[in-house]
Every structure is written in structure tokens, then in C-alpha cells.
Amino acid sequence: MLAVTLDKSLTKLMLREHGVISPKGQFLEELSDLKLDGWRWPVIVKPNFEGSSKGITQDSIVEDKHKLKALVEKQLARFPAGVLIEEFIPGTDLTVAFLEKGAPNTGGVLTPVEYVIDDKEWQKRKWRIYDYDLKSVDYMSVNVRCPAQQPQHVLERAQEMARKTYKALGLRDLGRIDFRVAEDGQVYFIEINALPSLEPGAGIYAAAELEGLHFDAVLAKVIESAVSRWGIHDPKKAKSKPPRKGPLRVGFTFNVKRIKPDMDGKKDEEAEYDTPATLQAIREAIASAGHEVIDLEANSDLMSVLASSPVDLVFNMAEGIKGRARESQVPALLELLDIPYSGSDPATMSIALDKALAKRIVRQHGILTPDFFVMSTGKERLARDCQFPLIVKPVAEGSSKGVHKASVVENEAELREAAREMIAKYDQPALIEEYIGGREFTVGLLGERRPKVLPPMEIVFLDKNDTRPIYSFEAKQDWSKQIRYDVPAVLEPAQLKSLEKAARECFMALGCRDVARVDFRMDAQGKVYFLECNPLPGLTPGWSDLVLISKAAGIEYGALINEILSGAIRRYKERERERKTEGRPLVGPSGPVLVAVPSAPVSMPPPPIASIGGEREPGSS
């Protein structure tokens, strides 16, 4: 969830469905997308992907649309990843820390803390906000008070919203949420920090003292939480990991299919992996463009292999090992090592694999998706308006794993049986989704912010007696007898436009990059419903959906692979230009080129003394 919580806009979209209130806002990547209608002035403009109040000053708050456009343009130039515009809430700041093992009676949620700013400092400022200057320059003017001097119902409301937030996001070990308390007492969620400051004087220590925990005990509770989760009993057995070196040539990350799945899906643990033949085809396509290919199987040895196999960039096809964030494992590792790679980033990979989470995101962007809910045990109470038929799927699997004829259920008894079986087999919740009758399509996209939409492909079900056809696991393994692929699909102009628009919006809403494939159903009225998005689609020559779609668009296999790779090449070149401009170490054929620079003393302010009611909160949001 670290990737998700760094994205302020995405986090708020997720929390909205859990009743967590935040100021009205808009995420922008381009000035042309700015919508000025309906705003309540003033508004505040902040970087969407930064912490520590970076980019937030007194000038961040504007009172009219002309100043807003100028500020947004300036901020986008500085923070091209995107900015967030929100209605400014007059009031005071409140923060609620989380220490999972530190407050068992409240689920880890600690007592709210508020910031206390010297009056002389406020007199210099028009707006009462905890901006970058207060966090990083004039921090000696800031103290925190715990408990916060707010009405009891305000403190309780903040803690309740914090509990919902931490639970909804699945935060672990520690965290901190920043709230804004309006003049009428309404509490607004501002942002969450899953990696809060642990410097002496941080607010978490003041709140923890009320639980009888002092400085060392707080750190011990963080460690205790991690040790408990990972089942570590003897720290002496923990092996240190070797250092990892910088990138050089073109790496190829993958998971190889060594176990052929059964047709009935009973043995499907490696169904998402790629066969040796597919991997060889991708190698040859990359090599055909003049690149050197270095195999990097995405197993537990990948980190150490990377250390001895430096690469310039990576063509990523790795599915990961386990967990609902498994497809983000390799991208996250590559980002940690500053190695450019093809495909979407870790946040998108995690979100897209979790079908329920992806559906919430696209729905927030106004895209239709079948009604759904999630079952963790199969015993959950059903909503009164629950209507059958429904379809039961694993919430975080691909390649139609777990999707069979029996997945479509007609009554509650069938639903509960299918859900229990699904949960037991895949060790994850089951997604229960409204069954949408009609035509099924899949749409391929290539590119980045403004992706190219390839011709839609229709999955035509051949058994006309089947009243509930689905693109099942069995159909994907042997499609010749059950389905037919029509590409390009036969569509009326309005239907084609609707499908292309929905695909592009899903791609952008989920933050996809370089390549993705999006699946839809179209009902009898022509309404298009999002089913799921695969940002890591199959690339088996002559077989995978995206490959068939690309061929219909006139893109041969080698060109498809290298078009996907082109995004990583562009990012690699940008990184090298930045390194030269910033004077960072350059990379040579044998590793980093060390550049000598004169040394200079570094002065650091002394840390403040932590005490309840008199400590500051270091900048770390």
C-alpha cells in the first residue's frame, strides 16, 4: 500500500466508499484538464506525489480562477507527475498516529495530536496551514499538543475515521493520518503517511506516551509488529542481502511455466506464467532490434542475480510469486534500484490485480462496472437488493483462474458454496459480481498518458444453447471448440466509439503505462461494462489476445514487443540525461563511474526534546 498512499488523489478515491470525508478536489496532469465550475474558493494546490509538505507554501492557496491557472501551470512544470487541487478548509490541523502493537484496545489508533504554532509566526502568514517552511525551516516555532484541545466528539470522529482508513488501506506496523478540523467541527481527511517520521520529537511519541510507551518502546513496538507478521523468531538466522549494482544492458524478467495446467483448472498454480517457447519468442524479438538480452527469472534469487548482471533497462513479464501485490514485486525492486523497465508501475500492478479495488477506481471515474461485493468467508450476510445471477471469481488472479461454468450462480446456496470453494483454493477473498449478459470484448492499448487504442476483439461464444456464457479457464486453454475471436470486432460506429472511450479512460484511471488489455461486456442496450484490466497481458505468439489484436492492427510480433519496450528505452534516456545534468554518478560499461567532488561540512539542527504537550512534528507527511 506504500505506492497507493503516496498518491493522494487515489487514496481519497478509495476512502470515499468507506465514508471517509475529504475536501472536494481534482487531480491534474495537464492544465487543459482544469475544471473551474462549482469550486468553493479559496482552493489549495499541492503536488499529488510528494510528502513533507513539499511544494506547499502560503502561495499555494488562491482565491480566483486566474491565479489558479497560473499556479497550476507553475506547479505542473515543477511536479509533472501531477498536482491535486482541493477546496481549502479554514480551521486547524489534527494528526492521528497508528502503532499496531502499541494500543491494542483501540486497534492501534493513538490519541489525536494537534499542532501549536507561535503567535508571532502566525502573524507573518495569511493562511493557517502547516506548510513547508513550518516543517523544514521555522520548525522551532511548532510544537504538538497531546491530547489535542478539541471537543470530545471531534476527537472521537477523527479516531473513527482513522480506524476506517487504516483498515481500508491495510496499513501495517505504523502510520499517521493528517486531518483538517473545520470551524464548524467537521473533520476532513487530508492525507496518510505510511512511513511517518520517527525522529525525536515526532508526534507519534507524544501520543504513545499516553499508552505508557516512551521513545525506545515505540521503536520496539514497530519491530515487534514486523517480527510477528513475518514469523521471525531468531534474528541471528536472518541473512543479510548482498548489495545490488547499477543497470547496464537489457534484462528480461519472467516466470517460466514448468507445470502445465489441467484443463479443469484443478492444477492451475502456474497458469499465469509463460512457456519456454513464449519466452524464447520475446527474447528473439528484443534481440532483433539490436539489444543484448539478459535472462532474469523472477524467483527469490532475482536480487542477487541483478547484482551480478547489471542492465540498462528491463523488459518485464514477471507475474511474481504470491500475494495480491505479486505483480508489483519486480517493478518495485527495479524502482528501488533505479532501473527503467517496461510496463506499469507497482501501484498500478497492485490495483489492477485486485479486481475489486480496480472496479472501485474506474467507478469513481464514471465508468460503468457490474455491481459487486467481496466475501472473505462465504458466510457474510447478503444485501437485500442482491439479485441473481451472479458470477464468483478469485479477487486477485489472472488468466481466468477460478472462472468456470459453475462460477455463475443462480441462488444463495450456489453462491455460498462457490465462494467457500474459491476462498479455500486460492487463499484470498472471492469477488461476487453481477452477471452481465451480452457480448464480450477485450481491447488492447499501447503507449503512456495518451495511449493508442487497438481494434477491439470480440470473444464470440459458439454454444447458442448456453444462456450464461463466460470466458472461462477451460475456454482459454482450448478456445477452438468453445469460442471464436473476431478481430476487429463487428461494431456500429457509436458502439466502437463507446468501447474505445471506455478502454482509454480505464487505462488512464488505473495509471497504466506502455501496454494493457481491458475486458468489457456490452449489454443489449449497448452499455459498456468494465470487467477487469490486465497491465501485464500475455504475449504468446499466435495465441494471446493482445498478439491477435496487434496483428489485426498491422503490428507484427517483433514490432509489438519493441513498441512495449520503447517506453522503457525513453525513460532510460531521460534518466541518463538527468544524471548528467545533476552531476550524479554516470554508468560505464563496467559499472558506475565515480566522480570526485570536494567534501564540505554539513550542519544539522539539534533534535528537539520530546515531551507531551511541547514537541514538534518533523516534516515527513
CATH number reported for the structural domain that contains residue 390 in this entry: 3.30.1490.20
Nearest CA among 292, 278, 289 for reference residue 559: 289
Model confidence, pTM: 0.70
Contact 126, 58 (CB under 8 A): yes
Q: Which of 405, 435, 465 is the last residue of a domain?
A: 435
Q: Which of 230, 265, 297 is the last residue of a domain?
A: 230
pLDDT score of 556 more than 80: yes
pLDDT score of 606 more than 70: no
Question: Running DSSP on this structure, what letter comes out for residue 139?
Answer: G
Asked if residue 304 and residue 208 are part of one domain, the reply reads no
Asked if residue 308 and residue 272 are part of one domain, the reply reads yes
Asked if residue 175 and residue 317 are part of one domain, the reply reads no
pLDDT band at 354 (very low <50, low <70, confident <90, very high): very high
Residues 210, 285: Cα–Cα separation, whole Å: 62
Asked if residue 379 and residue 336 are part of one domain, the reply reads no
Quick: pLDDT tens for 62-107: 998 889 999 999 999 999 999 999 999 999 999 999 999 988 889 9
The per-residue pLDDT for 270 is 65
Q: Would you state the cell numbers that stand for residue 37, as one nine-digit string? A: 465550475
Does residue 214 lie in a domain region?
yes
Asked if residue 210 and residue 111 are part of one domain, the reply reads yes
Query: Mind spelling out the 3-state secondary structure of 418-464?
Result: HHHHHHHHHCCCEEEEECCCCEEEEEEEEECCCCEECCCEEEEECCC
Quick: pLDDT tens for 240-284: 444 333 334 899 999 988 766 655 546 655 667 888 899 999 999
Averaged pLDDT for residues 126-135: 89
Asked if residue 119 and residue 213 are part of one domain, the reply reads yes
Q: Which of 435, 451, 467 is the last residue of a domain?
A: 435
Asked if residue 267 and residue 213 are part of one domain, the reply reads no
Q: pLDDT > 90: what percent of the chain?
A: 58
> Which amino acid would we find at residue 555?
I
Averaged pLDDT for residues 4-32: 90
Does residue 61 lie in a domain region?
no
If one counts the domains in the chain, the total is: 3
Laid out side by side, the sheet with 372-375 consists of 372-375, 430-434, 390-394, 408-409
pLDDT score of 473 more than 70: yes
CATH number at residue 17: 3.30.470.20
Q: Which helix (H) or strand (E) holds 570?
A: helix 557-582
The per-residue pLDDT for 583 is 65
Asked if residue 310 and residue 166 are part of one domain, the reply reads no
Task: Show the domain range for 271.
Answer: 249-343
Residues 579, 584: Cα–Cα separation, whole Å: 5
